[in-house]
Chains A and B, each alone.
Chain A
Amino acid sequence: MTKHLQLSEQGRLKHFLTIEGLSTELLTEILDTAESFVDMSEHRVRKVPLLRGKTIINLFFENSTRTRTTFELAATRLSADVLNMNIATSATSKGESLLDTIRNLEAMHVDMFVVRHALSGAAHFIAQHTAPHISVINAGDGQHAHPTQAMLDMFTIRQHKKSFAGLKVAIVGDILHSRVARSQILALNTLGVAEIRVIAPKTLIPAEVSTMGVIPIHTMAEGLDDVDVIIMLRLQKERMNSAFLPSEGEYFKCFGLTEANLKFAKPDAIVMHPGPINRGVEIASSVADGPQSVILQQVSNGIAVRMAILSMAMHSQGEPA
């Protein structure tokens, strides 16, 4: 069902909501397309007219300066017109329904929504109810998915490791609440890595997690042993308030990535983080800034990957009915 929602009649990408249901070929096509856009940042001319005349709305129900900025940059570099809408949602003010918000924006003749929302399934809902010519890109919905982040992470891994086959990947941190982790797990499995480990205390690991194709582990020593890629997730302060963890200090002692436990991994293992990083909580500064860290490359790759996704999704609109 998800697969059919995301693809056009011709099997091209129309909505980008989740990695689920997308083939290895399509994911690879996204990575290959992103390659073409990587060099652009270094050129004097950083714009191409691919999406000229198209209007993209960044519909952010949840605040996020960094994700919104990269989407804005990606759209602008494709010569699209970008509108930013930050819709504050508070528990006390009901405000406009999701559906009404979409309908009002559609009346202004837009071509694409980039949506970030606090509830899982929001992007799906919008894609199902929006006018047929509009594409929806999921910039993060609740705890469900953050597929563009996963793709830029895959792009970064491919840059350094060339092939996904045989790779051992460890994802460390709050898996339970992480839409990034869920999308990464789907992408890594589709692209054919050898093994995915999730490392966290039991409070932060989802029920039945092995059905997602991962191995849950509760110590860094065991979890990082011989891995090629380490992905650190951000720890949110709220977790301490709801008894998921006692303190940041104890978390860092057990699950923080330090130079010492980095040694459990392969010597050429790369260290990744979707950002923003909490130094001294999930990762030591010396590792974040160290030679194995590719965190900053993830950021610059983010623009190229999003340019690829925006242009691929927009392209399917030209298809004959």
Chain B
Amino acid sequence: MPIQTLNIDALLDQLESSIRQQIDSRQLDNPILIGIHSGGAWIAKHMHQRLGIQEPLGLLDITFYRDDFSQIGMHPKVKPSQLPCHVEGRNIILIDDVFYTGRTIRAALNEIFDYGRPNQVVLAVLIERNGRQIPLQPDCYGAHIELPDGQRIKLSGPEPLGIDIQNTAKSA
């Protein structure tokens, strides 16, 4: 039961605008878009269309790079990552739905760098929220939200795309 439903279109507009700014100011020639499975991939697909990028969209599944593998365990249905062959020397726009602790992004960066050495990686997220545990932060976002304990952001999709604030299941 959502506490609040956010305006997905407004967020996507803001994110698009923010990314365009980064492309200009950092001179991101010929950028590759990479979305992190699964929520980031949905957002990345929208951005890919809006920004009119020619190069095919890249998809990253970071399951094998998670740092909590031994607690969470093996997920049988891991979609294989699909990255364009060469990240060597390229400008990458890495896209995810929610930036929270930062661990997902750390895993994603580890995986990308296993493929090669990019020129730059710019991080774009739909929502940045409080609760960072790793010294990383997004370069662009659709919105920054502060949440109290016991609440979380949930993206639903892929069609229709929706975003809510929900109560987390709390243990007594």
Contact = CB atoms under 8 A, between A and B. Distances in A.
B114 to A, nearest CB: 5
Contacts of B80: 36, 39-40, 43
Interface in A4-58: 12, 29, 32-33, 35-36, 39-40, 43-45, 47-50
B76 interface: yes
A36 B70 contact: no
Contacts, number: 46
A119 B15 CA distance: 64
Nearest to B110: A49
A159 B11 CA distance: 43
Contact of A12 (B69, B73, B76, B79): B73
A49 B111 CA distance: 9
Nearest to B63: A36
A39 B73 CA distance: 20
A44 B85 contact: yes
B102 to A, nearest CB: 18
A49 B73 contact: no
Interface residues of B, number: 19
A26 to B, nearest CB: 11
B165 to A, nearest CB: 31
B74 A315 contact: yes
B76 A36 contact: yes
Interface in B129-146: none
Contacts of A44: 85, 115
Main DSSP-derived SS at the A contact region: helix
Given A40-B80, A50-B64, A50-B69, A33 B114 contact: no
B26 interface: no
A32 B115 contact: no
A192 to B, nearest CB: 19
A49 B64 contact: yes
A7 to B, nearest CB: 14
B100 interface: no
Contacts of A48: 64-65
Contact of B115 (A40, A45, A311): A45
Interface string B100-119: 00000000001100110000
B155 to A, nearest CB: 23
B25 interface: no
A315 B76 contact: no
A67 to B, nearest CB: 23
A311 B74 contact: yes
Given A39-B80, A40-B80, A50-B64, A45 B73 contact: no
A317 interface: yes
Interface string A100-115: 0000000000000000
Nearest to B70: A318
Interface in B55-101: 63-65, 69-71, 73-74, 76-81, 85
Contacts of B110: 49
A139 B119 CA distance: 45
Given A44-B85, A45-B115, A36 B77 contact: yes
A44 B80 CA distance: 13
A45 B74 contact: no
A182 to B, nearest CB: 26
A36 B69 contact: no
Nearest to B79: A36
B114 A315 contact: no
Contacts of B64: 36, 48-50
B63 to A, nearest CB: 8
A32 B77 contact: yes
Given A36-B76, A49-B64, A318-B69, 12 more contacts: A35-B76, A36-B64, A36-B77, A43-B81, A44-B115, A45-B111, A45-B114, A49-B65, A50-B64, A50-B69, A311-B74, A315-B74
13 contacts: A12-B73, A29-B74, A29-B76, A32-B76, A33-B76, A36-B76, A36-B79, A43-B81, A44-B85, A44-B115, A315-B69, A317-B70, A318-B70
Interface of A: 12, 29, 32-33, 35-36, 39-40, 43-45, 47-50, 308, 311-312, 315, 317-319
